[in-house]
């Protein structure tokens, strides 16, 4: 067993080292393309305005390290290429003005050209900004329009970074579960084999009953491990049409003894809705969310499950009447190995989020106004395997 632990530690170090770089490269191209398309669209919106002749955005893509990137409008340059080179040399950028302030660039070679820049962020002492060439001095309303665009670009870059971090965490989580799962398989199989042998060698009585409990518990662990490994693999989604109500009821049945012990009331709509999803993986999501709701529910309280059907999406919520989520919970809730449950591994919600994202949905949590917490997920109604 000590050898197994050493192997596991070596595996975790390997995952947290060079393998992380490979995981990041896998999604870098698509993420960078989406970012460029968004920025190009913002430039198109700017240059479509009558007051703006040309624009460009200087930004730092997290995937490129600290190197700044440039996206320029596809409209003709309203000045000479030499002047553009001078602007890009940033000799005029001698200080770091406040973000989202719109400033006019003044210079001898700019006598007949109106140029503004609007910084929207600083990273490693490098300025990220919008560069705007106007047809004339801009009015206050046009200046506010550019500042609003800068805010939008800044917010998108923040979401872009959060998305990359989330993908990074999910990929590491998948690697860890796959490695740990397969390494636990062998000792678990040995325990099951010895438990079966022991059970068969004993006559009926308390010792055989105990051997039977070991055998059945090992089988349950092996089954749960199989499901965990399966749900950590984004490539194995198998979409079929499933009744949401039936899936919720099936998850609740597994917790009936616990629900009865805590004298809980569980409410859910008497409405059937068919979704295209991976049944096993999505059941893992509901099992995790319901387990948390039951755990944090006071004795005699109510768990409210609800869903609303839209044209192409379904919004599902699971709310309890517990103490709610702390600020740290809300910040780190879906981070692998962070848990607000004593003895929890922190993998359940991380896997749940991974599964929902793989279904092209979204999962989030919030505190309710009076008491308790609510987990919500939105899923598309119909998907097909890729």
Say if residue 241's pLDDT is above 80.
yes
Query: Considering only 13-17, 164-168, 207-211, 379-383, which range has the smallest mean pLDDT?
Result: 13-17
Mean pLDDT, the chain, as a whole number? 81
What is the rounded distance in angstroms from the CA atom of residue 17 to the CA atom of residue 177? 16
Residue 201 lies in a domain: yes
Both 127 and 218 in a single domain?
no
| Sole residue written with tokens 């919720």 | 248
Both 211 and 112 in a single domain?
no
Determine contact, residues 367/376, Cβ cutoff 8 Å. Answer: no
Residue 373 lies in a domain: yes
| pLDDT tens string 126-143 | 899 999 999 899 999 999
Q: Domain with 153 in it: what CATH number?
A: 3.30.450.40
Residue 73 lies in a domain: yes
Mean pLDDT of 103-130: 86
Residue 386 lies in a domain: no
Predicted pLDDT of residue 88: 84
Predicted pLDDT of residue 22: 44
Higher pLDDT, 145 or 236: 145
Higher pLDDT, 55 or 186: 55
Higher pLDDT, 303 or 32: 303
Residue 385 lies in a domain: no
| pLDDT tens string 315-360 | 999 999 998 988 888 888 887 777 777 766 667 788 888 888 888 8
Of 13, 10, 364, the residue nearest 172 (C-alpha): 13
Both 182 and 258 in a single domain?
no
Mean pLDDT of 141-169: 86
| Domain range for 256 | 237-380
Q: Domain with 243 in it: what CATH number?
A: 3.30.565.10
Both 323 and 198 in a single domain?
no
Helix/strand/coil (H/E/C) assignment for every residue in the chain: CHHHHHHHHHHHHHHHCHHHHHHHHHHHHHHHHHHHHHHHHHHHHHHCCCCEEEEEEEEECHHHCCCEEEEECCCCCCCCHHHHHHHHHCCCCCCCCCCCCCEEECCHHHCCCEEEEEEEEEECCEEEEEEEEECCCCCHHHHHHHHHHHHHHHHHHHHHHHHHHHHHHHHHHHHHHHHHHHHHHHHHHHHHHHHHHHHHHCCCCHHHHHHHHHHHHHHHHHHHHHHHHHHCCHHHCCCEEEEHHHHHHHHHHCCHHHHHHCCCEEECCCCCCEEEECHHHHHHHHHHHHHHHHHHCCCCCEEEEEEEECCCEEEEEEECCCCCCCHHHHHHCCCCCCCCCCCCCCCHHHHHHHHHHHCCCEEEEEECCCCCEEEEEEEECCCCCC
Of 360, 348, 331, 386, the residue nearest 177 (C-alpha): 348
Mean pLDDT of 146-174: 82
Domain end, chosen from 160, 185, 216, is at 160
Both 320 and 375 in a single domain?
yes
What is the rounded distance in angstroms from the CA atom of residue 19 to the CA atom of residue 273? 41
Mean pLDDT of 222-243: 70
Output 32-36 pairs: Cβ under 8 A, ≥24 positions apart: 32/61, 32/63, 32/64, 34/160, 35/59, 35/61, 35/156, 35/157, 35/160, 36/71
Higher pLDDT, 167 or 313: 313
Instruction: Give the percent of the chain with pLDDT over 90.
Output: 36
Predicted pLDDT of residue 21: 40
Q: How many domains does the chain have?
A: 3
Both 128 and 8 in a single domain?
no
What is the rounded distance in angstroms from the CA atom of residue 204 to the CA atom of residue 383? 52
Both 261 and 321 in a single domain?
yes
Confidence of residue 234 (pLDDT cuts 50, 70, 90): low
| Sole residue written with tokens 């799962």 | 181
Confidence of residue 19 (pLDDT cuts 50, 70, 90): very low
Predicted pLDDT of residue 168: 72
Highest mean pLDDT among 4-8, 214-218, 285-289: 285-289
Residue 253 lies in a domain: yes
Of 286, 293, 263, 257, the residue nearest 356 (C-alpha): 286
Both 262 and 312 in a single domain?
yes
Mean pLDDT of 118-124: 90
Domain end, chosen from 160, 185, 220, is at 160
What is the rounded distance in angstroms from the CA atom of residue 215 to the CA atom of residue 201? 13
Both 291 and 359 in a single domain?
yes
Say if residue 62's pLDDT is above 50.
yes
Both 194 and 141 in a single domain?
no
Mean pLDDT of 175-199: 75
Q: Is the pTM of this model over 0.85?
A: no
Query: Considering only 55-59, 141-145, 162-166, which range has the smallest mean pLDDT?
Result: 162-166
Say if residue 85's pLDDT is above 60.
yes
Residue 172 lies in a domain: yes
Predicted pLDDT of residue 243: 92
Both 242 and 359 in a single domain?
yes
Confidence of residue 7 (pLDDT cuts 50, 70, 90): very low
Mean pLDDT of 97-108: 88
Residue 183 lies in a domain: yes
Confidence of residue 112 (pLDDT cuts 50, 70, 90): confident
Mean pLDDT of 242-259: 92
Both 325 and 353 in a single domain?
yes
Predicted pLDDT of residue 331: 82
Domain end, chosen from 213, 231, 249, is at 231
Instruction: Give the percent of the chain with pLDDT over 70.
Output: 82
């Amino acid at each position: 067993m000590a050898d197994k632990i050493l192997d596991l530690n070596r595996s975790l170090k390997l995952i947290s080292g060079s393998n992380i770089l490979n995981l990041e490269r896998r999604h870098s191209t698509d993420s960078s393309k989406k970012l460029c398309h968004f920025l190009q669209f913002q430039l198109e919106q700017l240059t479509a305005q009558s007051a703006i002749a040309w624009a460009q955005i200087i930004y730092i893509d997290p995937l490129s390290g600290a190197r700044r990137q440039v996206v320029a409008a596809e409209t003709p340059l309203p000045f000479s290429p030499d002047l553009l080179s001078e602007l890009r040399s940033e000799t005029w950028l001698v200080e770091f003005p406040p973000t989202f302030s719109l400033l006019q660039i003044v210079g001898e070679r700019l006598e007949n050209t109106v140029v503004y820049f609007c910084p929207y962020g600083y990273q490693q002492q490098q300025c990220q900004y919008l560069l705007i060439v106007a047809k004339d001095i801009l009015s206050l309303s046009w200046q506010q329009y550019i500042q609003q665009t800068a805010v939008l670009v800044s917010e998108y870059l923040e979401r872009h970074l959060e998305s990359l971090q989330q993908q990074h965490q999910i990929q590491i989580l998948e690697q860890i579960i796959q490695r740990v799962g397969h390494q636990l398989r062998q000792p678990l199989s040995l325990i099951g084999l010895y438990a079966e042998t022991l059970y068969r060698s004993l006559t009926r009585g308390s010792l055989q009953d105990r051997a039977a409990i070991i055998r059945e518990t090992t089988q349950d662990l092996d089954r749960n491990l199989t499901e965990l490994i399966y749900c950590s693999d984004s490539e194995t989604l198998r979409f079929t049409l499933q009744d949401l109500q039936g899936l919720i009821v099936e998850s609740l049945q597994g917790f009936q003894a616990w629900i009865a012990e805590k004298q809980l009331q569980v409410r859910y709509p008497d409405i059937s809705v068919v979704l295209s999803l991976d049944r096993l993986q999505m059941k893992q999501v509901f099992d995790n969310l319901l387990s948390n709701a039951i755990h944090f529910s006071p004795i005699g309280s109510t768990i409210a499950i609800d869903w609303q059907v839209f044209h192409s999406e379904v919004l599902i919520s699971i709310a309890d009447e517990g103490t709610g989520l702390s600020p740290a919970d809300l910040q780190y809730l879906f981070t692998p190995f962070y848990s607000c449950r004593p003895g929890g591994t922190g993998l359940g919600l991380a896997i749940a989020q991974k599964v929902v994202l793989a279904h092209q949905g979204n999962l989030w949590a919030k505190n309710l106004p009076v008491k308790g917490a609510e987990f919500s997920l939105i899923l598309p109604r119909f998907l097909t395997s890729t």
